[in-house]
Structure 1
Amino acid sequence: MDLFVCAGCGAELSVPVERVALPAEAHCDAGHRWMPPLMEPGTYAVDPDPWGRPWRTWEEIGASGAAAHGVYAPAYGIPTGPRNVMVLAPGDTRGTRLLPERSGDSCLGMVAGDEPSLLCADCGLGVGFREDDCGIWQTVRYAPGAVVRRSLGVPPPAAPVLPLPPVDLEGDWDLRWSAAAGAALARLLAASGGRALCLPAGLPAVMFGRTVERLLPAGPPFLTVGVAGPGLPGTGADIVLVPSDRRTGEPWRPAGDAVPVPLPAPVWAHLARSGETSPTPVSGTLPAQVVRDDYPHPDRPGYLFRPDHRTLRGTLARMPEVRRPWLRALYDRL
C-alpha cells in the first residue's frame, strides 16, 4: 500500500491506496452523461502515456514528433503533457484545496486547465487536477513532480475478481465492456495479420463480430479465436482472449504459440464463466440447479453492441504495429 504526500511540505494527500493497472475505459467516449469515479475506492493507477496540455495536432508535430509521444498514426489531438500522472478516485484524496476557477473549458463540471486546480491545503503548492465534467470519469490526477509516493510497507488486501455483467443497472451495454472491447479489438486486428478470424459463438461474436466482418476478409482460411485463462487452456486456437493482471495489466500467458489478447479480468471472468449470471446478489442460498427468474433487466439490451470507437482508435494509434501498411489501411477505414 502507498500514501501520497506533498513534495513541498510532506503533508498527506491521500488515504492508503493500492496500485492497479489503469482501467481500459480511462479514455472512452462516454457522451453527454454523468460519470462515476474511474478508480475503485482504495486504488490508484499510473498513466504511462503523456496526459493533458499542451495538445498538438499531427500536422503540427509530424510523424516523428508524434511517435516520440507514443502515437504512431494520425490522431485528432495528441497530448504532450507529463507521463506517469497518478490517477485516484476523488474520495481517496486528503489535504487539498480546490480552485474551480482554474477549470478549462467545460460543460457541466471541471476539466484540467492550464494551472493545477488542486493545491496542498498546508503549503499552497499546486499538486494536481480534478475532473468531473459530463462524459468524463471523475478523477484526481496528481502531477508526478508535485507529490511523493511513499510506500507503507503493508501488502494490499486480497481482492477477488468479480465477474462484470455486460449490461449495467439501467439496462444498457456497460461502458466498461464497450471500452474493453475497443482495446481488445485493436489487438485482435493486429494479431490477425489481415486474415479472416473465426470468433467463438456467444459474447465474443457480439463484441467483435460486426467490426471483424467489416474490416477483415471473409474466410476460409481462418485464424481461430478462443478464450483461455486459469482453468481454460484454449487449446487449438491461434489467438486467445485472456485476463489481464489486475495490478500490472499484463496478459495471462497461454501455453503454446497462441497470441494472447488481454481483457480486463472482470470482463473476462464473465465471458469465461457458465451457468447463472444474475447481476443482482440475493441473501441466502438457492437449492442446487435452481436458477433465478427475477432479473431486473434483460440479459442484453434491445440494440446492437458497439466497441468504443475512441478506445479502439486510440489503442491502435499507440501500437507501433499500426505503421504496417495493411494495418494502417484498416486504421484509416475506422
Structure 2
Amino acid sequence: MDVFVCAGCGTELTAPVSRVALPVHTYYGAWEQLHPPLMEPATYAVDPRPTGPPWRPWKDVGAELAARQGVFAPVYSVSFGARNRIVIAPGDSRSMTLIPGKCEGYCRGVDGRAGPNLACEGCGRAVATRLDDCGMWQMVWLEPDAVVRRASGLPAVPPPDWDELGRPEHRVQPVEPDGSWSPRWEAAVGVALAHLVAVTGDRPVDLPAGPVAELLGHAVGLRLPAAPGARSLALAGPGLPPPRPRPDVLLVPRHPLTGASWCPPGDEGAVVPLDSGVWAYLAHPGETSPMPATGSLPEGVLRDDYPLPRRPWRPLAAHYHSFDDTLVRLPAVNAPRLRRYRDEYRQTYGGDADLA
C-alpha cells in the first residue's frame, strides 16, 4: 500500500491506499443530488488525461491543439489542467485544510472552480482539491506536482482481478433505494454507448434477450434506432461461456485494477467496455427472492410469489454528458459518418441537456 506526502515538507496527506481503476462515472453524477464518495476506502485512482482548470474555449484552441489534449471533436471548452491527478475518498485525506477564498460552489458544497482548495497543514502549500457539490461524487484530487507517493510499510493488499467480478458484493444494483435509476448505471451506459456507436460506425444493434435487452434496450434504441443490417451483440467476459457464433460486438467488463477491456484469448474482434460492477449485475444478477417468513423451502426450490424487481417511472437512459464526453475522446469521431451523427443528435437534444 502507498501513502502520498507533501512534496514540500513531507507531511503525510493520505491514509494508506491501494491503486484501482478510475471509475467510469467519476465526472458524471445526478444533477441537484448529493452523492456518496466516489472511491472505496483505502483506494486511489489516477486520471492520465488533463482535467480541471484552466479551461480554454474551443474557438481559441482549435482542432490540432485540442487533439493533443485528447479531444477530437468540437466542445464548449477544453481542459488544460494537470495530467495524472490522483483521486481518493475524502475520508482518506490527512493533514489538509481548506483554503479561504477558494471554496466556491454552485449549491450545497464546493466544486473546485478556483483550482486547488486544500493546503498542507505542514507548510501551507496548495496540494489538493475537494469536490462535494450537488451532482458531484465526493472526492479529493491530489495535484501530481504537489505530492510524492511512498510505500506505507503495510502489507500489500492483493490487487483486484477478474475473479472479483463473480462476487456478489461487486455487483452494482441498477435501482437506488429511493426507486430512481442508479447514477452509476446511467453514466456507465453513456460511456459504453459511445464506444458502441464508434465500433459500429452508427449502425443499429441487435441486443440479446434477457437483462441486457431489458435494461439497455431503451438507451441503445435512442442512440442507434432499429434498421436493416443491424450488428449483433452479446455479453461476454470471465466466467461466461463464449458466444457461438462470435457476434459482431462483445459487451465486456473493464478490469477493476487497470481499466483495460476484457478480451477472449486470441480474439481481435470488436469489444465495448462496460463498468465492471454494472457488467457483473448483467452477467450474474443472482436470486432476488426473500427468505420464507418461517421454516425453509426444499433445496433447489424458489418462491414464485415475491414482487417483481423495482423499475423507476421511466426507462433507463444514458447520461448525456458521459456519452458525449466519451465520444469526443475517441479518434473514430473524426470519421465523416460519426461527425454527422454527433452533429445531428446535438441539434436534436441540445448540447447541454440530459437525454431521457
Report the TM-score, using the length of structure 2 for normalisation.
0.86
8 A Cα contact 1:228 1:242, kept in partner? yes
8 A Cα contact 2:52 2:115, kept in partner? no
Give 1:275 deviation, angstroms. Answer: 4.6
**Residue 350 of structure 2: aligned partner:** none
Q: SS in structure 1 opposite 2:190?
A: helix
Letter in 1 for 2:180: D
Give 1:158 deviation, angstroms. Answer: 6.0
Distance 1:193 1:101, change over 3 A: same
Equivalent residues in 2 for 1:128-143, closer than 5 Å: 128-143=128-143
**Residue 169 of structure 1: aligned partner:** 177
Q: Tell me the alpha carbon deviations over residues 116-162 of structure 1, each in whole angstroms, 9 at most, x when there is no partner.
A: 21111111111011111111111101100001111346422465342
Give 1:291 deviation, angstroms. Answer: 4.6
Give 1:303 deviation, angstroms. Answer: 1.4
**Residue 203 of structure 1: aligned partner:** 211
- Unpaired segments of 5 or more residues in structure 1? none
| Alpha-carbon separation, structure 1, partners of 2:144 and 2:60 | 27
1:303 aligns with 2:314: yes
| Alpha-carbon separation, structure 2, partners of 1:176 and 1:276 | 22
8 A Cα contact 1:165 1:279, kept in partner? no
| Alpha-carbon separation, structure 2, partners of 1:203 and 1:223 | 18
| Alpha-carbon separation, structure 2, partners of 1:17 and 1:146 | 17
8 A Cα contact 2:290 2:306, kept in partner? no
8 A Cα contact 1:5 1:148, kept in partner? yes
Give 1:201 deviation, angstroms. Answer: 2.2
Q: SS in structure 1 opposite 2:25?
A: helix
**Residue 322 of structure 1: aligned partner:** 333
Letter in 2 for 1:290: L
Deviates more, 1:257-266 or 1:51-60: 257-266
**Residue 312 of structure 1: aligned partner:** 323
Pick from 229, 235, 255: which aligns with 1:245? Answer: 255
Pick from 212, 222, 228: which aligns with 2:236? Answer: 228
8 A Cα contact 1:54 1:79, kept in partner? yes
Letter in 1 for 2:4: F
**Residue 127 of structure 1: aligned partner:** 127
Equivalent residues in 2 for 1:2-21, closer than 5 Å: 2-21=2-21
8 A Cα contact 1:276 1:291, kept in partner? no
**Residue 276 of structure 1: aligned partner:** 287
Letter in 2 for 1:223: R
Query: RMSD of the alignment, in Å?
Result: 2.5
| Alpha-carbon separation, structure 2, partners of 1:285 and 1:167 | 28
Distance 1:175 1:215, change over 3 A: closer
Equivalent residues in 2 for 1:47-196, closer than 5 Å: 47-152=47-152, 154-157=155-158, 160-161=164-165, 162-196=170-204
| Alpha-carbon separation, structure 2, partners of 1:8 and 1:285 | 63
**Residue 290 of structure 1: aligned partner:** 302
Q: SS in structure 1 opposite 2:251?
A: strand
Q: SS in structure 1 opposite 2:13?
A: coil
Distance 1:277 1:320, change over 3 A: farther
| Alpha-carbon separation, structure 2, partners of 1:124 and 1:290 | 61
What is the aligned residue count? 331
**Residue 333 of structure 1: aligned partner:** 344
8 A Cα contact 1:105 1:111, kept in partner? yes
8 A Cα contact 2:85 2:141, kept in partner? yes
- Unpaired segments of 5 or more residues in structure 2? 346-356
Give 1:273 deviation, angstroms. Answer: 1.7
Give 1:254 deviation, angstroms. Answer: 1.8
Deviates more, 1:286-295 or 1:92-101: 286-295
| Alpha-carbon separation, structure 1, partners of 2:289 and 2:182 | 15
| Alpha-carbon separation, structure 2, partners of 1:259 and 1:285 | 47
Give 1:216 deviation, angstroms. Answer: 3.7
Q: SS in structure 2 opposite 1:24?
A: coil
Q: SS in structure 1 opposite 2:52?
A: coil
